[in-house]
Chain A
């Protein structure tokens, strides 16, 4: 996600006369936004934790103590243990590695396809637009589950497939939103001006249209990441994705939901991890949006 934003900002930077200062302005504005900074720092912390997990996790994530079973948080197990007597903190840390990777990579795939597709369809319009968007309709309508099962039959079980499968569904709505944004932007004066200046359509899309349509896209992206993390759990149930004893936040939450009355800690802590990520993402996303909003900044 972050790479996407910076390329687009790069486009802004090339174009705008006072480009360098704009980019700096954005950075300064972002830094002034305390919530965005807090969100960014939290996310960074989560990512560092995920990377360091194999060295700093308090327990072996496979180690079971069946006779201990599910136990409430204690001095030995800060966040309690699951039904196999495994340490929940360790589970969440390892789960975070999977969820963050899936969340960011799959969303990036969806973003890349969706934004490009939507921008081209919306900008070019006419017959091209019709064909491209009807293809989106077709993909919406195909039975997703059968598609997943077939993917597995053809390619075997593979984590890369997981990204592909998630990317394949998540880009569709992204493309629709992008297209509607681009359509409304296309009639704006600055785009018309760019056209009359004889800029190539690619350049116009890249430098004028995409950066200005970023607001809703950033927002939708920050919402997509957590839902992708939950989608991963569903795909894992279908057999695609990760297999036990590997785990993820989505899986931990769905297991925890089954026993919310008996062992609430199995739901609350993984839930908190996901919620914190979502809120951090949203604050950071809002901050980015505000910081990059050229027109808004003039006020």
Chain B
């Protein structure tokens, strides 16, 4: 098992390196630069700016200079926010977005797994349709729609919850977490229902039932483990996706997270910020995909023995 994880971590190095290189050249190829503005920038000013940001060097020199900085953990100054380093911005937004993502994921799992498991026990009955329909509402309600709707109902009409901010007013974390989690709840519900149905028809479940175990014990002890494999495979990219997807939620609820910077950096052609967030996000993706693969392996007994034994 350890060898498996180690080899995956080693594989992460070329992955991140390729991502950085590709991103570096992709963003330079995109039309429009960081200093383009509605009012034209005087050529002499543009030259001065390019000099301050090393953009006057040949592209390959810029690339190696960036790699050099990166090796020292230095992501450079932001183009859009002069006076702030990308490191600083990342570290200010990260805890917020991570917390938001975590709550959202927990909500998605709670709603999704519950609905999915219940539904799978009596497929194609009311016990199936009702929870699944509820869970699926999340997917028809993209966050740009669900967020404002929740604000309207719980924030403005009922006046139960605050409608903006993060950690400033008690309760202001509730609506954003639900908004972000809802879309994933539907996926989790659907995937866990399908996974459970698959497992519940397997021989060993029938054996367990034949042994006279109560149904809930069969489900919890035997079926859940295998039934959740597709969910776990989905969770890795989902958590990384939560970070990127939190942009909409962060904008609606005025949350000082990372998602806003991740998306706006691309709009602003904030080169260093795009690279910084991408480096960060790619590390997360590698990490979470690894975690989800490890978890899937543990849930799947045969695979586990193969990995821990064979250590490919």
Complex CA distance for A296 and B312, rounded to whole angstroms: 33
- B7 (CB) vs chain A CBs: closest residue: A130
Within 8 A of A (CB), among B1-57: 7, 11, 14-16, 18-19, 22-23, 26-27, 29-31
CB distance from B210 to the nearest CB of A (A): 12
- Contact A137 B289, beta carbon cutoff 8 Å: yes
Contact residues in B for A296 (Cβ distance below 8 Å) = 197-198, 201
- Contact A126 B312, beta carbon cutoff 8 Å: yes
The residue that B267 contacts in the complex, of A145, A222, A223, A227, with Cβ under 8 A, is A145
- Contact B139 A227, beta carbon cutoff 8 Å: yes
- Contact B19 A141, beta carbon cutoff 8 Å: yes
- Contact A173 B234, beta carbon cutoff 8 Å: yes
Question: How many residues of chain B have a CB within 8 Å of chain A?
Answer: 69
- B300 (CB) vs chain A CBs: closest residue: A184
The residue that A143 contacts in the complex, of B187, B229, B274, with Cβ under 8 A, is B274
- Contact B190 A220, beta carbon cutoff 8 Å: yes
- Contact A138 B22, beta carbon cutoff 8 Å: yes
Complex CA distance for A164 and B196, rounded to whole angstroms: 33
- Contact A223 B285, beta carbon cutoff 8 Å: no
Within 8 A of A (CB), among B165-196: 186-187, 190-191, 193-195
CB distance from B168 to the nearest CB of A (A): 25
- B312 (CB) vs chain A CBs: closest residue: A126
**A-contact bits for B275-312, CB 8 A (1 contact / 0 none):** 00110011001100100010010001011001000001
Contact residues in B for A183 (Cβ distance below 8 Å) = 296, 300, 303
A141-B281, A180-B230 as given contacts; A150 in contact with B29, CB under 8 Å: yes
- Contact A290 B229, beta carbon cutoff 8 Å: no
- Contact A141 B198, beta carbon cutoff 8 Å: no
Contact residues in B for A179 (Cβ distance below 8 Å) = 233
Within 8 A of A (CB), among B199-216: 201-202, 206
A5 within 8 A of B: no
A180-B230, A215-B198, A274-B140 as given contacts; A146 in contact with B240, CB under 8 Å: no
Stretch at the interface among B101-109, B141-149, B253-261: B141-149
- Contact A35 B124, beta carbon cutoff 8 Å: yes
B65 within 8 A of A: no
- Contact A219 B312, beta carbon cutoff 8 Å: no
- Contact A289 B194, beta carbon cutoff 8 Å: yes
Judged by DSSP, the binding face of B is: helix
- Contact B187 A153, beta carbon cutoff 8 Å: no
Contact residues in A for B303 (Cβ distance below 8 Å) = 183-184, 187
A140 within 8 A of B: yes
- Contact A216 B194, beta carbon cutoff 8 Å: yes
- B31 (CB) vs chain A CBs: closest residue: A153
Contact residues in B for A223 (Cβ distance below 8 Å) = 139, 186-187, 190
CB distance from B171 to the nearest CB of A (A): 23
- A282 (CB) vs chain B CBs: closest residue: B136
Stretch at the interface among A51-59, A73-81, A252-260: A252-260
Contact residues in A for B124 (Cβ distance below 8 Å) = 33, 35, 286, 290
Contact residues in B for A289 (Cβ distance below 8 Å) = 194, 197
- Contact A137 B152, beta carbon cutoff 8 Å: no
**B-contact bits for A283-295, CB 8 A (1 contact / 0 none):** 0001001100101
Contact residues in B for A290 (Cβ distance below 8 Å) = 123-124, 197
A142-B278, A146-B23 as given contacts; A177 in contact with B140, CB under 8 Å: no
A137-B285, A137-B286, A282-B190 as given contacts; A260 in contact with B149, CB under 8 Å: yes
- Contact B14 A146, beta carbon cutoff 8 Å: no
- Contact A138 B129, beta carbon cutoff 8 Å: no
- Contact B274 A146, beta carbon cutoff 8 Å: yes
A172-B237, A282-B132 as given contacts; A142 in contact with B26, CB under 8 Å: yes
Complex CA distance for A183 and B44, rounded to whole angstroms: 60
Complex CA distance for A181 and B230, rounded to whole angstroms: 7
B236 within 8 A of A: yes
- Contact B186 A180, beta carbon cutoff 8 Å: no
Contact residues in A for B266 (Cβ distance below 8 Å) = 143, 145-146
A261 within 8 A of B: yes
Complex CA distance for A227 and B140, rounded to whole angstroms: 8
Complex CA distance for A219 and B231, rounded to whole angstroms: 12
A226 within 8 A of B: yes
Within 8 A of A (CB), among B209-250: 226, 229-230, 232-234, 236-237, 240, 244
Complex CA distance for A144 and B7, rounded to whole angstroms: 28
Complex CA distance for A133 and B14, rounded to whole angstroms: 13
Complex CA distance for A293 and B18, rounded to whole angstroms: 41
- Contact A279 B286, beta carbon cutoff 8 Å: no
The residue that B27 contacts in the complex, of A33, A143, A144, A176, with Cβ under 8 A, is A143
B133 within 8 A of A: yes
Contact residues in A for B142 (Cβ distance below 8 Å) = 230, 253
- Contact A146 B300, beta carbon cutoff 8 Å: no
Complex CA distance for A180 and B195, rounded to whole angstroms: 12
A146-B274, A149-B30, A176-B237 as given contacts; A134 in contact with B15, CB under 8 Å: yes
User: What are 19 A-B residue pairs whose CB atoms fall within 8 Å in the complex?
Assistant: A134-B14, A134-B15, A143-B27, A144-B244, A176-B236, A177-B230, A180-B293, A181-B229, A181-B230, A187-B302, A215-B195, A220-B190, A222-B190, A226-B140, A253-B145, A257-B145, A260-B148, A295-B201, A298-B201
Closest CB pairs A-B (n = 7)? A141-B282, A180-B233, A296-B201, A216-B230, A187-B302, A145-B266, A219-B194
